[in-house]
Amino acid sequence: MPAIRCPHCDTSIDVPISRAGGEVSCPSCSKAVTVPKLGELRRLEASTPTASTPSQAGVETAASPLAKRAGFVALVALAAACLGLGGFCLVRYWAIAIPGTTESHMEMVESQYSQAPASQLVREWQELESFGEDVAFPYPYETVAAEKADWLRKGWMGIAGALVAALLAGAIASFSGRSTSHG
């Protein structure tokens, strides 16, 4: 509903659109006030906040702290989950023992070749010449080492995710504190 000012006492008067072009009496001074025509009244209505606007603004500000609180709680839960998963992955990394290294594997191969008969060495040499030196699959210790490295990578990713979520939760808490202390 648009509002006009009383020219006699400067009181704001809410005017229904149906009264456009007519007169209303001022509730303060009881004098007659001319209501502008419909076009002018519509412009006044567009520039004047309606009665529902303050209540809607109140709803938005009431929902805003709740939304911030929900976002904060969700980020803290995400940080805890990431920290738990990252910790699990790091414990799993530390629990895996690699059964050997390239050096220990080479020592084992050398000891086997020193005890192998000449016919077996010739056969393996021929296989190397025909198939090449590339191994078609990794040795067991390489598979375990790759699995261990994967657990370490996942652990650090979990820790990093927890850190990011905690920083975002801290930012929400910081901005919530500022808006409530200034508002």
- pLDDT (tens digit per residue) in 93-113: 999 988 878 788 788 888 888
Q: What pLDDT shows up at residue 107? A: 87
How many helices and strands, by DSSP H and E, does the chain display? Answer: 5, 4
Say which residue the tokens 């895996």 belong to: 96
Distance CA 25, CA 7 (A): 11
- Give the mean model confidence (pLDDT) for residues 72-84: 94
- Cβ of 173: how many Cβ atoms within 10 Å? 16
Residue 25 has pLDDT above 50, yes or no: yes
Pairing of strands 12-14, 3-5: antiparallel
The confidence band for 59, taking pLDDT boundaries of 50, 70 and 90, is very low
**Could you tell me which of 24, 13, 80 has the C-alpha nearest to residue 48?**
13
Residue 51 sits at the vertex; the CA angle it makes with 55 and 65, to the nearest 5 degrees, is: 15
* CA–CA gap between residue 151 and residue 159 (Å, rounded): 12
Bridge partners of 34? Answer: 23
The helix/strand/coil state of 176 is helix
Q: What does pTM read for this prediction?
A: 0.49
* pLDDT-based confidence at residue 62 (cuts at 50, 70, 90): very low
Q: Determine the length of the chain.
A: 183
Higher pLDDT, 140 or 160: 160
Separation of CA 58 from chain center: 27
Per-position b or e across 6-23, b if 16+ CB within 10 A of its CB:
beeeeeebebeeeebeee
Classified as helix, coil or strand, 32 is strand
| pLDDT score of 183 | 44
Over residues 109-128, the mean pLDDT reads 86
